[in-house]
Structure 1
Amino acid sequence: MNSSSLRALALEYKSLQEEPVEGFKVKLLNDDNFYEWSVGIFGPPQTLYAGGYFKATMKFPQDYPYSPPSIRFITKVWHPNVYENGDLCISILHPPVDDPQSGELPCERWNPTQNVRTILLSVISLLNEPNTFSPANVDASVMYRRWRESNGRDNEYPNIIRKQALQAKLEAEKEGIVVPLTLEEYCLKPKTNPNNQEPQLDMTDFYDDFDDDECSESETESQNGDGEDSGNAE
């Protein structure tokens, strides 16, 4: 076991427990193994995935952070960049090799400055803004493009996503997980304590790495679904 990678993962995990980020929750699959994490991703409000709680596993290599982890969804996710077996395909998790055939720039791929926070925030962005140029799920990609090009008249794609999000929400509720349904619930606002000390965040809710305007702007963009290139597939 690589002691430097273990230390890096332990520090990241501790940081995410002490200062969670809006949009996802993480825990260890086994308390004695920092190389396999359980991840729960909340569907952003005002998007097709609103209300959903999508579970995945994240596995880290022994030389992390020099090599990227892998992510596999356990919850069924119909998406252009998710393989049938649940494996996620996104540029940020691709090794930084020179591959002209992929259509990806080296700067779009993995580098050691990335971390779990940046990975999962990229995944959340990718959910509502898939890359359809080199999809992992061709049928989902075709269906997504047909929906976009029909200006919402063809509802096959959104109907599937909303059905999966609803099912995922019901499963989350069985586990006692509260899923945020509004932007206010999803993006926590800093609160000042009664003693007029430094602003504190409510430990019972989600934490926000961004200010309110940035979070609201991000969700608005996700609602509009104007981008397709936030994450590139293989």
Structure 2
Amino acid sequence: MSQKRIAKELAELVESPPEGIKVELADESDLYQWNVYMEGPEGSPFQNGKFLVKLKLPTEYPFKPPAVSFGTKIYHPNVTNDDKGSMCLGMLRPDEWKPSSKIAAVLQFARQLLVEPMPDDAVEGRIAEQYKNDRARYDELAKEWTRKYATA
């Protein structure tokens, strides 16, 4: 069941991807590992950046949520600042995940998070504090990191 659904969702995303998102398999022989190329949204400090987002689907998908992580370093309160780039998305928590959710919605939510971070649900507390208390400095650093790590 899961492979059929994954193949269908992948085909839909390749044929008509959400704005600013391109999807492909990380390895043609593995339906469960995807590379997602996400453009930084216009008007955000990530504008003009191209980010690699790794999506890993569990074999129990859609009953268990996918794991989403950034392969490109990004200065963001909801993404870990280490080489794992784990992303904190409420909808991906096991207690909030719904089997009816689609990967396209996950990717659109992840991209929207670049426009509107959720500092109260942060994995990087220092960056969240900065986002709330010194927005200009946050934007400056996010732009700097985007130039440094996310230019194609």
TM-score bucket (shorter structure):
over 0.9
Q: Identify if the C-alpha distance between structure 1 residues 26 and 83 changes in structure 2 by more than 3 Å, giving closer, same or farther.
A: same
TM-score normalised to structure 2 length: 0.92
Aligned residue number for residue 114 of structure 2: 127
Structure 1 residues 135-188: Cα deviation after superposition (integer angstroms, max 9, x where no partner): 20011101111124xxxxxx3211111112223453x1xxxxxxxxxxxxxxxx
Structure 1 residues 50-83: Cα deviation after superposition (integer angstroms, max 9, x where no partner): 1111112100001101110001111111111111
The CA distance in 1 between the partners of 2:137 and 2:43, in whole Å, is 18
State the AA in 2 paired with 1:144: Y
Identity of aligned residues (%): 31
The CA distance in 2 between the partners of 1:164 and 1:94, in whole Å, is 27
Aligned residue number for residue 89 of structure 1: 88
Where 1:133 maps in the other structure, the secondary structure is helix
The CA distance in 2 between the partners of 1:162 and 1:50, in whole Å, is 8
CA apart distance, 1:110: 1.2
* 2:52 counterpart (50, 55, 79): 55
Does the CA contact (< 8 Å) of 1:52 and 1:164 recur in 2?
A: no
Aligned residue number for residue 67 of structure 2: 70
Q: Identify if the C-alpha distance between structure 1 residues 136 and 169 changes in structure 2 by more than 3 Å, giving closer, same or farther.
A: closer
Aligned residue number for residue 30 of structure 2: 33
5+ unaligned residues in a row in structure 1: which ranges?
97-108, 149-154, 173-234
State the AA in 1 paired with 2:46: Y
Does the CA contact (< 8 Å) of 1:38 and 1:58 recur in 2?
A: yes
State the AA in 1 paired with 2:142: I
Are positions 1:116 and 2:103 aligned together? yes
CA RMSD of aligned residues (A): 1.3
Number of residue-to-residue matches in the alignment:
150
State the AA in 1 paired with 2:29: D
Where 2:148 maps in the other structure, the secondary structure is helix
Aligned residue number for residue 214 of structure 1: none
Where 1:66 maps in the other structure, the secondary structure is coil
Aligned residue number for residue 136 of structure 1: 123
> Which has a greater percent of strand?
2
* 1:24 counterpart (21, 27, 51): 21
Structure with larger Rg: 1
Are positions 1:11 and 2:17 aligned together? no
The CA distance in 2 between the partners of 1:69 and 1:141, in whole Å, is 24
Q: Counterparts in 2 of 1:113-192, with a 5 A limit?
A: 113-148=100-135, 155-170=136-151, 172=152
Aligned residue number for residue 76 of structure 2: 79
5+ unaligned residues in a row in structure 2: which ranges?
none
Following superposition, which runs of at least 4 residues in structure 1 exceed 4 angstroms of deviation? none
The CA distance in 2 between the partners of 1:50 and 1:131, in whole Å, is 18
Does the CA contact (< 8 Å) of 2:20 and 2:40 recur in 1?
A: yes
